[in-house]
Structure 1
Amino acid sequence: MSTVLFCPVMFNLAETTRMIQVARALDPAHSPVFMGYEHDYVDLVRDAGFPYRACLPAWDRAQRDQALAFDQGRAFRSPFTTELVRERVAVERLVIRRTGARAVVTGSNLTSFLSARAEGVPLFYPVPFALTAPQVEQTPRMRFVDGTSGAARRADRAATSAFRWVYTAAPLAPRAFTTVARENDVPELRTAASLLRADHNLLTEMDWELDGFDLPHDFERVGPIFAHLDAPLPPVVEELAAAPEPLVYLGLGSSASRDLVLKAARALGRLPVNVVAPVRHYLEDDDVLPPNVHVTDLLPAHRLGGLVGAAVLHGGQGTVQTACATGVPFVGMGLQPEQTWNVRRCAERGNAVAVPPRRVSTQAFRTAVHRALFDPAVRTAAAEVREAYAGADGAAATARIIERGLA
């Protein structure tokens, strides 16, 4: 039996659930152990039956937000001080030794990229393709500039070129990682892209999403991985699904904002639909939403197929893949480059309608929701994507690759 150590960022819902799915898919001969610094979703880990090691130092809310923006390519400043990186690497090396871990699986816990290498343990990274080095290097337009005019295309190519250099070539990784890498006798991480490149980079994508891209030897496609929460659907969902009005699912993950939640809920409140919205974690006690918007805690969204007519999503890969797998057409807003990429690929496939988040309070958003609910072409594309997803199991593929490394 071999121990496999999972190191997700525990305040990132999609990342935590992705790790849980991989741990479940491992052969029972192996022993998954989780560790983390912030503990927002630790109950999901424990409910899945896996041991969890709570570690320090942890971040406050402002540091979390800054780290998330850095990971998503929205900022180049980070909360990674030399002291914090040094302490976390020391903690992780100790956990690896004490558990006898023979493999480490990470999400965007950046210190794992130092600690695993310092301990000589292979590092596995199930990751969306967007904002990986090959995606940034080979994408001519990242769509930082909207529009189809010649001027917009030229401006976007220029912005993409600048971003590509900053992300893949500029020595802009936090100095702390260079310092601590040197202290632990591992290769220095100098660029933003190198901070998120493991020994085995396992792309959680469908095959068509990688069309036209050449993958380096350390990248491999595994397929979609998304949450399967062990919880029943609350009765309100089936009650709303039986009502004459269409039912819309509002899912904004863990990287949206209270302001966006309120705007989206109020926009949906103007439509002749019912809405089920697992957004309680964003709201304050005195927030008032339209009467047709029903707020819940986290839902097992993989069970919503056939119950909801459409979804409104922030564009995170977990929520997008859940909609794809259940055949639910969706409106995707894309709050940062990775999410925009996820939404755009589905819009190109036909099962989604893309709307910039700044337009959520406009008629364009309401029109997009109507299209997702009633446009035959969108609904047909969603059904076709669901059929394609039926044979995909990225968690199992990832588990087999990890086990191959343990052999």
Structure 2
Amino acid sequence: MVSNILPTSICLLPHCAYLSQTSRMIEIYRALQQRGITPRVATYGGTYETALRAAGIDYDLVGPRMDDERCARFLREQPSSGPVRQSGYSDQELRAYATAEAEYFTRHGIDTVVTGFSLTATLSSRLAGVRLVTEHSASWVPPVFESRPLPPAVRFTAALLNRVRFYCGGFNRVAAELGVAGLPSTAALLLGDLTLVTEAPEVLGLPAERIEAWRPGRGYRPETRLRVTGPLFAHLPIPLPDEVERFLDRPGPVVYVAITSSSPALVRATVSALRPLGARILVAGTVHDLGDLADDRVLVAGVLPSHLVMPRVDLAVTAGGQGSVQTAMAAGVPLLGLPLQPEQRLNVTLVERRGAGRWVRPGDAGGARLTASAGELLGDDRYRQAAEVIRKLYAEIDGPGNAADAILSQQGPGR
């Protein structure tokens, strides 16, 4: 536990197994501070607590602490990639986190909790009687499913979400024990009382008014509402290492490989397929040991401030998480996506439709298809021009500020 947190009725609840979710919470924290509010921050703990500390953010540990091994297992078993009959957490963990969080909210006078994939908040918010704001759905929201043609994998998954209870079993068993409402569907697991839609309407292809006019039907909690707030991506408060600075300063094209929530095998296959292009390759290794990939043309680093890297490279290769896609677009850099699940496929599709990127199946990562796609993105300036259009669009939107304003709109009696 870290002290000196100012009194507030807002609590941010990042899941520190994820660099993306932790860093998005940091952006919201800063925006709230700019508005004179210092929210409390609570977490299970985990691999990327270091990001909170680097940002100078005080936080409390709530419930059983997640160590690095448990975080790694959560990533393997999370909703979207784990077996649909389990919930990412054991029933014992769900019970422990939900009760600890609810007690924390009550003890500190919290009336609004904002989470980035700490899904136990779907239980603890009900148990404590507080409002739940989520940002982890990103662009993965019903109006986008219902209004635009989608790739088959995305369309199939989206059509099921409000009809099935995949990953909900443990949540509903514990909800019954605690005497709170359960989850009517997988869709309800991902949405809050207020869900922040963290993308520009122009990229989504829908006006904000249409998205916010959506009302829940079958399979959704009736109180769910959507608010379009715009891009939300990391500005990690860490410097570029000297060796990265020197690597980026050398002449010639650079490809930035930042597939951070994946297996080491996928990163290795990707680097292998990129080598024939002759470009230098910078790898964000994060928690993986990939040092054996390094040579004169490949540099393997750890956690990097991608917002400082992207403007200095010629192509970004990521899994397609919204944060990494937006960081590339905010720098005007074309993207090659290797989506590991439907939400990432959607993110890549949105920029692909605007001519700023392409995607390759992860199973093709080590082969000629990836080499050819990366070569096209590097060689055809139309991709960079399209990414530049999105960069200018993003530059006009204060996504974190809009998110903070939406959260503050939930404050006060009767809201």
Q: TM-score, normalised by structure 1?
A: 0.88
* Structure 1 equivalent of residue 233 of structure 2: 226
Query: Match for 1:76 among 72, 84, 89?
Result: 84
* Structure 2 equivalent of residue 291 of structure 1: 296
Alpha carbons 1:9, 1:107 under 8 Å: kept: yes
Note the alpha carbon deviations across 1:35-63, whole angstroms, 9 max, x for none. Answer: 22242111211222221212333457477
Note the alpha carbon deviations across 1:56-91, whole angstroms, 9 max, x for none. Answer: 334574775456554336641324333221111110
Which stretch has the larger CA shift, 101-110 or 298-307?
A: 298-307
The residue identity in structure 2 corresponding to 1:76 is V
Note the alpha carbon deviations across 1:155-199, whole angstroms, 9 max, x for none. Answer: x97xx1xx4564211244533322332344432213111112211
Matched residue SS, 1:268: helix
Alpha carbons 2:162, 2:187 under 8 Å: kept: yes
Which stretch has the larger CA shift, 257-266 or 16-25?
A: 257-266
Partners of 1:326 and 1:126 lie apart in 2 by: 22
Partners of 1:64 and 1:304 lie apart in 2 by: 26
Query: Match for 2:22 among 16, 25, 29?
Result: 16
* Structure 1 equivalent of residue 342 of structure 2: 337
Alpha carbons 1:245, 1:273 under 8 Å: kept: yes
Query: Match for 1:208 among 202, 209, 213?
Result: 202
Partners of 2:290 and 2:81 lie apart in 1 by: 28
Note the alpha carbon deviations across 1:79-110, whole angstroms, 9 max, x for none. Answer: 43332211111100111122222310012111
* Structure 2 equivalent of residue 177 of structure 1: 171
1:269 aligns with 2:275: yes
Matched residue SS, 1:281: coil
1:107 aligns with 2:113: no
* Structure 2 equivalent of residue 195 of structure 1: 189
Partners of 2:250 and 2:32 lie apart in 1 by: 41
Alpha carbons 1:73, 1:337 under 8 Å: kept: no
1:396 aligns with 2:401: yes
* Structure 2 equivalent of residue 87 of structure 1: 96
Alpha carbons 2:138, 2:322 under 8 Å: kept: no
Matched residue SS, 2:277: coil
Q: CA deviation at 1:29?
A: 3.2
* Structure 1 equivalent of residue 222 of structure 2: none
Partners of 2:384 and 2:75 lie apart in 1 by: 37
Partners of 2:182 and 2:29 lie apart in 1 by: 30
Alpha carbons 1:265, 1:290 under 8 Å: kept: no
Structure 1 residues 277 and 179: CA distance shift in structure 2, 3 A: same
Which stretch has the larger CA shift, 96-105 or 317-326?
A: 96-105
* Structure 1 equivalent of residue 126 of structure 2: 117
* Structure 1 equivalent of residue 262 of structure 2: 256
* Structure 1 equivalent of residue 246 of structure 2: 239
Partners of 2:408 and 2:150 lie apart in 1 by: 37
Partners of 1:127 and 1:396 lie apart in 2 by: 17
- Report 1:50-69 matches (<5 A): 50-58=57-65, 61=69, 64-65=72-73, 69=77
Partners of 1:136 and 1:69 lie apart in 2 by: 25
Structure 1 residues 220 and 310: CA distance shift in structure 2, 3 A: same
* Structure 2 equivalent of residue 279 of structure 1: 285
Q: TM-score, normalised by structure 2?
A: 0.86
**Structure 2: segments with no counterpart, 5+ residues:** 1-6, 216-224
Which stretch has the larger CA shift, 14-23 or 377-386?
A: 377-386
The residue identity in structure 2 corresponding to 1:307 is R
Alpha carbons 2:79, 2:167 under 8 Å: kept: no
Note the alpha carbon deviations across 1:99-123, whole angstroms, 9 max, x for none. Answer: 2223100121111011112212111
Partners of 1:284 and 1:307 lie apart in 2 by: 22
* Structure 2 equivalent of residue 148 of structure 1: none
Partners of 2:403 and 2:358 lie apart in 1 by: 30
Matched residue SS, 2:125: helix
Partners of 2:312 and 2:198 lie apart in 1 by: 26
Which stretch has the larger CA shift, 77-86 or 59-68?
A: 59-68
1:44 aligns with 2:51: yes
Structure 1 residues 234 and 75: CA distance shift in structure 2, 3 A: same
Matched residue SS, 1:331: strand
Partners of 2:17 and 2:293 lie apart in 1 by: 26
| RMSD of aligned residue pairs (Cα, Å) | 2.5
Structure 1 residues 175 and 359: CA distance shift in structure 2, 3 A: closer
Note the alpha carbon deviations across 1:214-240, whole angstroms, 9 max, x for none. Answer: 532401110010000111222233323
Structure 1 residues 393 and 289: CA distance shift in structure 2, 3 A: same
Q: Percent identity?
A: 31
Partners of 2:127 and 2:9 lie apart in 1 by: 17
The residue identity in structure 2 corresponding to 1:239 is R
Matched residue SS, 2:111: strand
The residue identity in structure 2 corresponding to 1:168 is N
Number of residue pairs matched? 390
The residue identity in structure 2 corresponding to 1:326 is A
Partners of 1:396 and 1:16 lie apart in 2 by: 17
Structure 1 residues 133 and 103: CA distance shift in structure 2, 3 A: same
Partners of 1:256 and 1:396 lie apart in 2 by: 30
Q: CA deviation at 1:358?
A: 1.5
The residue identity in structure 1 corresponding to 2:15 is V
Matched residue SS, 1:44: helix
Q: CA deviation at 1:136?
A: 4.5
Partners of 1:319 and 1:92 lie apart in 2 by: 30
Alpha carbons 2:31, 2:400 under 8 Å: kept: yes
